[in-house]
């Protein structure tokens, strides 16, 4: 029995380690298959994708995670969620013992209500800051550039109360907890429990109460530590016993908690309406957007700044917002958007970037080139050049018989920035890129 229990725990640890490795590789820009697969099965991004650009795969992901949680509990939090796994790793390295933590049910219901109310109303602003997947991506991104504050905050939370973020703050964990609370298979303490407290010490969720003989499956993240450490086999995983709570107590708790959740949803919808009204001005900060964004307002309402596209852009021109408090954007002063690349739109797990085939991406106008003959070295200095026409992938820039560039054919220009990148004029470029309000598909 003990070997079997340890096998379950070690199997969970192995699966979690593999998941963390794949996610880290994805955000490090290593391997397109890894980058496309595991981020795509994260709960919040899949849900956002269903709402933004309906995808059968995203819908099946949300449904599958919900059913898995209802059947077996929050295993998603144990070996799929990268931020949860990272917290377990930090907790292990810190060597801090666990303990019971407060059941902040009303707090987490209110937070989840606000966040998902905003999402239903069309704004992912709450998930921008609280989605565990997106926070993991930003954490890795900030860590690579020396920004240690997010990591320090996470370490302090874990040292304080281990998985407190997952059990009291995370909106994804709260929603999955509602499925797990009434799930088919649950963890429970049996009559063999002698209340020694060993299970409490290894529980990262602080959800075990030996005195009352209960395990809160709503908060339990299915680490299986308790199952492994109990010498008397007093922790069982199976069908729950009949609930001994009185009908009146259960109904009262349901009404109170339901009221908090509904109030949070209403507040979230209200906040979203106010926020979306001001989003147009906010989005003007981001002039150039990756292919598939549509327009700045739409993109700002859906991007959670997870930085997956930033890490995987081969041209390294997708950059995070200053401070990470908004959507990503293109910095065409760093280089050009590769004509034969559509990676960012294929990787985006939230639907903020619509998935574009390479053929469609090559006809999507993301900006527009402008030619200024007053600084062109061909016109001003009589030098031979033609670099802009040589690199233009769509034929929007052509040369006169004399070798001088013609005005840009805007009907063919997609604004990739290749002409600006190679223009030798200094200090001002003769070829510059101007933003467009709406990304459009060129005809033909």
Q: Are 327 and 352 in contact (CB under 8 A)?
A: yes
Q: What is the pLDDT of residue 255?
A: 80
- SS3 labels along 277-311: HHHHHHHCCCCCCCCCCCEHHHHHHHCCCCCHHHH
Q: What is the pLDDT of residue 234?
A: 92
- Using only C-alpha atoms, the chain has a radius of gyration, in whole angstroms, of 26
Query: Which residues are 93's β-sheet partners?
Result: none
Tens digit of each residue's pLDDT, the chain (444 residues):
344 557 777 888 898 999 898 888 888 877 555 556 778 789 999 999 988 777 888 899 999 999 999 999 999 999 899 999 999 999 888 777 766 777 888 899 999 999 999 999 888 889 988 999 999 988 887 665 445 677 888 889 888 888 999 999 999 999 999 999 988 999 999 999 999 989 999 999 999 999 989 999 999 999 989 988 998 989 999 887 766 554 455 577 778 778 888 888 898 888 888 878 777 777 777 889 999 999 988 998 999 999 999 989 999 999 988 776 688 999 999 999 999 999 999 999 999 999 999 999 999 999 999 999 999 999 988 888 999 999 999 999 999 988 889 999 999 999 999 999 999 998 999 999 999 999 999 986
**CA–CA distance, 246 with 148 (Å, rounded to integer):** 49
**CA–CA distance, 288 with 286 (Å, rounded to integer):** 6
Query: Which residues are 237's β-sheet partners?
Result: 187
Domains of the chain: which residue ranges?
Answer: 2-106+169-238, 368-428
Q: Are 403 and 378 in contact (CB under 8 A)?
A: yes
Dihedral sign (CA 195, 201, 203, 207)? positive
Q: Is 260 helix (H, G, I), strand (E, B) or coil?
A: helix
Q: What is the pLDDT of residue 35?
A: 54
Element (H, E) at 438: strand 431-441
**What's the CATH number for 368-428?**
3.30.70.20
- DSSP letter string, 67-128: HHHHHH-SHHHHHT-HHHHHHHHHHHHHT---------HHHHHHHHHHHHHHHHTT--HHHH
């Amino acid at each position: 029995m003990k070997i079997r229990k340890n096998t379950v725990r070690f199997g969970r640890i192995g699966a979690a380690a593999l998941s963390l490795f794949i996610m880290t590789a994805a955000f490090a820009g290593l391997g397109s298959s890894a980058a496309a697969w595991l981020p795509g099965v994260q709960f919040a991004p899949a849900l956002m994708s269903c709402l933004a650009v309906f995808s059968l795969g995203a819908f099946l992901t949300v449904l599958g995670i919900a059913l898995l949680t209802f059947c077996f509990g929050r295993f998603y939090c144990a070996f799929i969620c990268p931020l949860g796994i990272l917290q377990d790793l930090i907790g292990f390295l810190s060597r801090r013992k666990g303990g019971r933590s407060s059941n902040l049910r009303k707090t987490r219901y209110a937070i989840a209500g606000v966040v998902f109310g905003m999402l239903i109303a069309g704004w992912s602003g709450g998930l921008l800051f609280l989605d565990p997947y997106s926070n993991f991506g930003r954490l890795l991104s900030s860590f690579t550039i020396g920004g240690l504050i997010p990591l320090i905050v996470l370490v302090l939370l874990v040292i304080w109360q281990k998985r407190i973020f997952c059990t009291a703050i995370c909106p994804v964990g709260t929603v999955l907890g509602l499925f797990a609370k009434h799930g088919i298979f649950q963890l429970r303490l049996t009559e063999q429990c002698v209340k020694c407290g060993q299970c409490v010490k290894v529980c990262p969720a602080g959800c075990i109460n030996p005195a009352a003989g209960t395990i809160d499956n709503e908060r339990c993240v299915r680490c299986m530590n308790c199952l492994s450490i109990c010498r008397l086999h007093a922790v069982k995983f199976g069908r729950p016993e009949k609930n001994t709570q009185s009908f009146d107590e259960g109904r009262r708790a349901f009404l109170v908690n339901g009221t908090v959740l509904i109030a949070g949803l209403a507040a979230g919808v209200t906040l979203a309406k106010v926020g979306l009204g001001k989003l147009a001005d906010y989005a003007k900060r981001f002039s150039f957007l990756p292919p598939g964004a549509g327009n700045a307002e739409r993109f700002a309402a859906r991007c959670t700044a997870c930085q997956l596209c930033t890490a995987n852009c081969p041209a390294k021109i997708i950059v995070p917002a200053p401070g990470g408090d908004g959507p990503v954007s293109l910095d065409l002063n760093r280089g050009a958007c590769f004509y034969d690349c559509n990676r960012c739109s294929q990787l985006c797990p939230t639907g903020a970037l619509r998935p574009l085939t390479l053929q469609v991406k090559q006809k999507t106008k993301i900006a527009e080139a402008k030619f200024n003959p007053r600084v062109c070295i061909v016109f001003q200095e009589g030098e031979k050049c033609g670099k802009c026409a040589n690199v233009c992938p769509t034929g929007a820039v052509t040369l006169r018989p004399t070798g001088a560039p013609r005005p840009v054919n805007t009907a063919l220009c997609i604004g990739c920035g290749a002409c600006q990148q190679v223009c030798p004029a200094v200090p001002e470029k003769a070829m510059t890129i101007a933003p467009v309000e709406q990304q459009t598909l060129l005809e033909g």
